[in-house]
């Protein structure tokens, strides 16, 4: 009998973004099956339906296998191409990009989807000299990243998460069932077996919520109100960890409350400035309860007042930040939140009590000694065992930034940050609040012909001076990220690109390069509009977006709109890195990264996009890409600065491969990873594993390992002075001379509130709730990731069409039966689909799976495929624009530019 497989190769899965280790079993060079790698720290042998179905991705009829050029005379969207050679394709691109670079590099826009190589693509854009670069974060979960990083210096998923090994209560909010998939499933299983209590807050009870001990249905877009009420209850009931707030947050910092002062709302400082970090001051004042005097924070023997109002020696009235928070929270009663969220007030009150009492009464200590940033030795680490996890359901609203600020503050009131049983960071986090390691340019002069961009294309503004705007306050980037419209758009705003380029607002571009981003379908709001814009011509008969390049492994809806198609490899055919410079696989106990190595040769003429970028970089003369043979060589030898010893991979550095994180390049590095199941994990000493925001030992180590530039404490920002700096500029005050344009002043003044506040999502504010009474949301199923899998023969057997799930009470009120065809209308469009009764959705919400419905002609599906005939795409009902000043604004969070995917209101009727 022949063995099922003769050879086993290990690599890293990419059927979703979780990066599990897999074993690929081959016979005669062909993949026979894929299973989980038991030796891998992320999934420990567990594999999901998607991961095991990777074999069918290889065999998909939708693969692109040759470079293609749109046929002369064919219209975009028709999908009429002729094959060309790679040399021809790259020469076309090289000529075009060279010309753009020599004239105006920002005419080249480069946007990528859910890729895992943003350190490389970002470097390419920066070296090219264009600011017009971003990945998918702006339309995914930037609110989660920005809201948390600006508050606690880290965020969920790749950069931190719940410590379920020691938590007793786990609260999950708005998390899709595939998110952080296998690792979270393993952790929840262990947590529940150990007797932990799991509460899920979500409009829909599927996936993780289905196995929660308690499901708390909530109306979409109202999570912020729940968070505010929970915070208020903790404060009211005295269930906060006061010592944690005093020592590790800015709760005791004194805020100038003189409304007439130029510095209103900013912290009061000691005369002597601390320069531990030139970008961040640490000399804010406390009001010392013992001496009854203002003192510099953390002065020896001082005890900060958290409440009250005081006067400085010069007469300036001040209040501790916590006092301002307390005042803000006063009106946010459970009864107030119940009206907004639909959750009974008693349940909110009980949840707050459960959180507060678990954190207080079940707290414990680990015998791990550590020294804090002020030189004080602690013999133990305390744990307050309440853990949270939240994601896109909370983030993808135009009010999400403040909701997530409120969640971060809730976690901080409970004293759970980087403590056992609470939220724990993963390297390279924690970073500053906000981080200053990547400085974005702050004016148009940063873009110069034939010159790399003077700054990073993406970063974290700390005030108006950091905005990327021109002398009139206008945006420099095509997506308007880091402008006064979206000052903290730290992941860029991919969802604005096609529309802005088409409108020429703020300018026209020449070439748009999309890498695995399906902008003509599921990655666009109102995709029909996006398709029209991609295909539209100006008065001279030229396309308004003159040249579109698409790089993808599969024939997505967007491919048909390309002028040039570059066929990418699959994850099983290429080298790849999950780098600490990007989105690593770090664990709570230390940094970790991983690689992919090819297990089969590329299909047809496919080339890894990584290789193509390095090749293109060399051809264009981009300085950072010169002298490398290919991507493999580039990853091995590239250093962030000459001789820095810091590169894409942290394992087996140094000539002998005996160094971790920092060390000279090692020619054998790829082999070492391949021999170690494709990952590297550096476990830190235990005393560096907790309280890392304020752990002196960790900071010294992190500085040595180039994870941090400065060893200063990372204070939790209950009160976000950064936001106040923008607000002051809008009020013609404050230290910055920069001012928002007149039409945006009020908007900046309202939304840049240094304390969290709740407002209804912008679209809901503008929609007549009686005409459109229902919220409509999507989520990804466990068996498919984004739009990636409708070409996968095995996974199509699980999901080949999608229905709209409606609470039976809601459906019956409209005389809709289970299985009826219905019409779903929003102010922006309508779709037809099948209604399905579901008790597992709150009555004011309808929902469906994301990206199952497909456009005819794409993904090599038959014209009568279920995805085309029975599936539907909710995006047709969601607008990318909202009415507003100066011709309207993007349907996005006014702070971060996060796309408001989950804000649409609809009505339903029998078709």
Q: Given the rule CB under 6 A, which residues bind ligand SF4?
A: 13, 15-16, 18-20, 43, 47-48, 50-51, 181-182
**Residue number, 22 or 148, with CB nearest to ligand SF4:** 22
User: How many CB atoms sit inside 10 A of residue 676's CB?
Assistant: 16
User: How many CB atoms sit inside 10 A of residue 528's CB?
Assistant: 15
**Residue number, 11 or 384, with CB nearest to ligand SF4:** 11
**Residue number, 23 or 76, with CB nearest to ligand SF4:** 23
Concatenate the DSSP letters of all residues of 376-401 into one string.
-EES-EEE--EEEEE-HHHHSSTTHH
**Residue number, 161 or 294, with CB nearest to ligand SF4:** 161
With CA atoms as reference, report the closest residue to 903 among 871, 885, 886, 879: 879
The single residue listed with the structure tokens 């680990």 is: 366
Cβ 859 to ligand SF4, closest distance in Å?
19
**Residue number, 18 or 169, with CB nearest to ligand SF4:** 18
**Residue number, 18 or 612, with CB nearest to ligand SF4:** 18
Cβ 638 to ligand SF4, closest distance in Å?
26
**Residue number, 18 or 251, with CB nearest to ligand SF4:** 18
Record the tokens describing residue 371, joined without a space: 């020294």
CA 845, CA 222: separation in Å to the nearest integer? Answer: 12
Record the tokens describing residue 753, joined without a space: 């509130």
Concatenate the DSSP letters of all residues of 443-487 into one string.
SGGG--TTS--SS-SS----SGGG--B-TTS-BSSTT-BTSSSBT
β-strand pairing of 564-567 with 547-552: parallel
**Residue number, 50 or 70, with CB nearest to ligand SF4:** 50
Cβ 849 to ligand SF4, closest distance in Å?
16
CA 876, CA 872: separation in Å to the nearest integer? Answer: 9
Cβ 837 to ligand SF4, closest distance in Å?
30
Cβ 660 to ligand SF4, closest distance in Å?
25
Q: What is the CA radius of gyration of the chain?
A: 27
Cβ 525 to ligand SF4, closest distance in Å?
26
Cβ 839 to ligand SF4, closest distance in Å?
28
**Residue number, 181 or 202, with CB nearest to ligand SF4:** 181
Record the tokens describing residue 903, joined without a space: 């804000």
Record the tokens describing residue 357, joined without a space: 């009492």
**Residue number, 13 or 142, with CB nearest to ligand SF4:** 13
Cβ 854 to ligand SF4, closest distance in Å?
20
Record the tokens describing residue 144, joined without a space: 């989660």
> 465 phi and psi, to 5 degrees?
-60, -25
With CA atoms as reference, report the closest residue to 11 among 680, 788, 674: 674
Question: Residue of minimal CB distance from ligand SF4?
Answer: 51
Cβ 756 to ligand SF4, closest distance in Å?
33
Cβ 592 to ligand SF4, closest distance in Å?
15
**Residue number, 418 or 576, with CB nearest to ligand SF4:** 576
CA 792, CA 218: separation in Å to the nearest integer? Answer: 34
**Residue number, 43 or 724, with CB nearest to ligand SF4:** 43
Record the tokens describing residue 351, joined without a space: 């949840």
Cβ 34 to ligand SF4, closest distance in Å?
8
**Residue number, 719 or 788, with CB nearest to ligand SF4:** 788
Contact yes or no for 727/752 (Cβ under 8 A): yes
In 3-state terms the chain splits into helix, strand, coil percentages (rounded to 5) of: 30, 20, 50
CA 550, CA 558: separation in Å to the nearest integer? Answer: 8
**Residue number, 792 or 848, with CB nearest to ligand SF4:** 792
User: How many CB atoms sit inside 10 A of residue 66's CB?
Assistant: 17
CA 144, CA 155: separation in Å to the nearest integer? Answer: 7
Cβ 566 to ligand SF4, closest distance in Å?
25
Angle separating helix axes 609-619 and 86-103, nearest 10 degrees: 50
Cβ 199 to ligand SF4, closest distance in Å?
23
Alpha helices in 736-799 (DSSP H): 745-751, 762-766
Residue 733's contacts (CB-CB under 8 Å, 6 or more residues apart) are 262, 263, 264
Angle separating helix axes 118-128 and 609-619, nearest 10 degrees: 20
**Residue number, 845 or 850, with CB nearest to ligand SF4:** 850
Residue 206's contacts (CB-CB under 8 Å, 6 or more residues apart) are 177, 779, 840
Cβ 181 to ligand SF4, closest distance in Å?
3
Cβ 861 to ligand SF4, closest distance in Å?
21
Residue 357's contacts (CB-CB under 8 Å, 6 or more residues apart) are 239
Cβ 43 to ligand SF4, closest distance in Å?
6
Strands (DSSP E) found in 671-792: 679-681, 774-779
Strands (DSSP E) found in 738-872: 774-779, 804-806, 821-826, 829-837, 845-849
**Residue number, 19 or 25, with CB nearest to ligand SF4:** 19
């Amino acid at each position: 009998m022949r063995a099922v497989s003769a050879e086993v190769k290990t690599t890293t899965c990419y059927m979703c973004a979780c990066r599990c280790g897999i074993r690929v079993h081959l016979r005669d060079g062909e993949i026979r099956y894929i299973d989980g790698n038991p030796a891998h720290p992320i999934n420990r042998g567990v594999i999901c339906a998607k991961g095991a179905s990777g074999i069918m991705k290889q065999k998909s009829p939708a693969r692109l296998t040759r470079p293609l050029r749109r046929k002369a005379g064919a219209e975009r969207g028709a999908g009429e191409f002729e094959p060309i050679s790679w040399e021809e394709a790259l020469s076309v691109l090289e000529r075009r990009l060279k010309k753009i670079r020599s004239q105006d590099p920002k005419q080249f826009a480069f946007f990528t989807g859910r890729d895992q190589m943003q350190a490389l693509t970002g470097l390419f854009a920066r070296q090219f000299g264009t600011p017009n670069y971003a990945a998918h974060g702006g339309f995914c979960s930037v609110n989660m990243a920005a809201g948390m990083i600006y508050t606690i210096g880290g965020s969920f998923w790749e950069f931190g998460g719940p410590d379920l090994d020691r938590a007793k209560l786990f609260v999950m909010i708005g998390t899709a069932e595939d998110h952080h998939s296998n690792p979270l499933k393993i952790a929840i299983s262990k947590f529940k077996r150990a007797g932990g209590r799991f509460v899920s807050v979500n409009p829909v009870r599927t996936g993780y919520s289905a196995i929660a001990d308690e499901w708390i249905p909530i109306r979409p877009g109202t999570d912020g109100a729940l968070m505010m009420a929970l915070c208020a209850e903790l404060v009211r009931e005295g269930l906060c960890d006061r010592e944690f707030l005093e020592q590790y947050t800015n709760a005791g910092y004194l805020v100038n409350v003189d409304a007439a002062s130029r510095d209103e709302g900013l912290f009061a400082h000691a005369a002597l400035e601390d320069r531990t970090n030139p970008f961040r001051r640490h000399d804010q004042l406390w009001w010392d309860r013992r001496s009854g005097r203002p003192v510099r924070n953390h002065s020896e023997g001082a005890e900060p007042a958290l409440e009250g109002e005081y006067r400085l020696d010069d007469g300036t009235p001040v209040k501790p930040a916590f006092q301002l928070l307390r005042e803000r929270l006063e009106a946010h009663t459970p009864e107030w939140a119940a009206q907004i969220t639909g959750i009974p007030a008693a349940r909110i009150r009980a949840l707050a009590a459960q959180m507060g009492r678990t954190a207080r009464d079940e707290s414990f200590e680990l015998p791990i000694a550590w020294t804090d940033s002020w030189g004080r030795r602690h013999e133990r680490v305390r744990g307050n065992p309440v853990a949270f996890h939240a994601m896109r359901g909370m983030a993808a609203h135009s009010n999400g930034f403040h909701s997530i600020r409120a969640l971060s503050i809730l976690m901080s009131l409970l004293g759970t940050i980087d403590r056992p049983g609470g939220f724990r960071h993963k390297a390279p986090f924690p970073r500053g609040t906000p981080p200053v390691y990547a400085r974005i340019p702050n004016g148009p002069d940063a873009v110069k012909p034939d010159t790399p961009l003077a700054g990073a294309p993406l970063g974290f503004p700390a005030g108006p001076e950091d905005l990327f705007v021109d002398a009139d306050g206008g945006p420099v980037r095509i997506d308007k990220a880091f402008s006064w419209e979206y000052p903290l758009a730290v992941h860029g705003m991919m969802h604005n690109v096609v529309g802005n380029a088409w409108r020429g607002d703020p300018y026209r571009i020449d070439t748009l390069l999309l890498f695995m981003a399906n902008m003509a379908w599921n990655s666009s709001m109102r995709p029909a509009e996006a398709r029209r814009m991609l295909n539209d011509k100006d008065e001279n008969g030229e396309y308004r977006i003159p040249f579109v390049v698409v790089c993808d492994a599969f024939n997505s809806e967007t491919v048909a709109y390309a002028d040039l198609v570059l066929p990418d490899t699959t994850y099983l055919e290429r080298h790849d890195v999950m780098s600490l410079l990007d989105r690593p696989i770090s664990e709570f106990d230390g940094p970790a990264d991983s690689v992919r190595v090819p297990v089969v040769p590329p299909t047809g003429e496919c080339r890894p996009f990584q290789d193509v970028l390095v090749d293109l970089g060399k051809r264009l003369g981009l300085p950072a890409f010169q002298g490398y043979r290919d991507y493999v060589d580039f990853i091995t030898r590239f250093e962030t600065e000459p001789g820095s010893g810091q590169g894409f991979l942290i394992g087996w550095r140094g000539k002998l491969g005996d160094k971790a994180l920092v060390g000279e390049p090692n020619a054998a590095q790829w082999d070492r990873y391949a021999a170690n199941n494709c990952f590297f994990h550096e476990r830190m000493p235990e005393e560096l594993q907790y309280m890392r925001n304020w752990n002196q030992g960790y900071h010294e180590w992190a500085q040595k390992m180039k994870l941090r530039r400065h060893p200063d404490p990372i204070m939790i920002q209950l009160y976000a002075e950064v936001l106040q700096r923008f607000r002051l500029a809008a009020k013609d005050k404050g230290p910055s001379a920069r001012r928002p344009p007149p039409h945006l002043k009020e908007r900046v003044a309202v939304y840049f509130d240094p304390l969290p506040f709740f407002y209804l999502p912008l679209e809901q504010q503008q929609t007549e709730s009686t005409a459109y009474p229902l919220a409509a949301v999507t989520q990804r199923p466990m068996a498919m990731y984004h739009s990636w899998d409708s070409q996968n023969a095995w996974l199509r057997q699980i999901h080949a069409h999608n229905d709209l799930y409606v609470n039976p009470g809601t459906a019956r009120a409209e005389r809709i039966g289970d299985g009826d065809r219905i019409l779903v209308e929003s102010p922006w469009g309508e779709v037809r689909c099948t209604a399905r009764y579901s008790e597992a959705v709150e009555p004011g919400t309808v929902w469906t799976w994301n990206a199952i419905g497909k456009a005819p002609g794409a993904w090599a599906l038959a014209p009568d495929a279920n995805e085309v005939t029975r599936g539907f795409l909710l995006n047709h009902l969601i607008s990318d624009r909202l009415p507003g000043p100066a011709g309207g604004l993007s349907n996005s969070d006014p702070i971060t530019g996060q796309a408001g995917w989950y804000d649409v209101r609809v009505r339903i009727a029998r078709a």
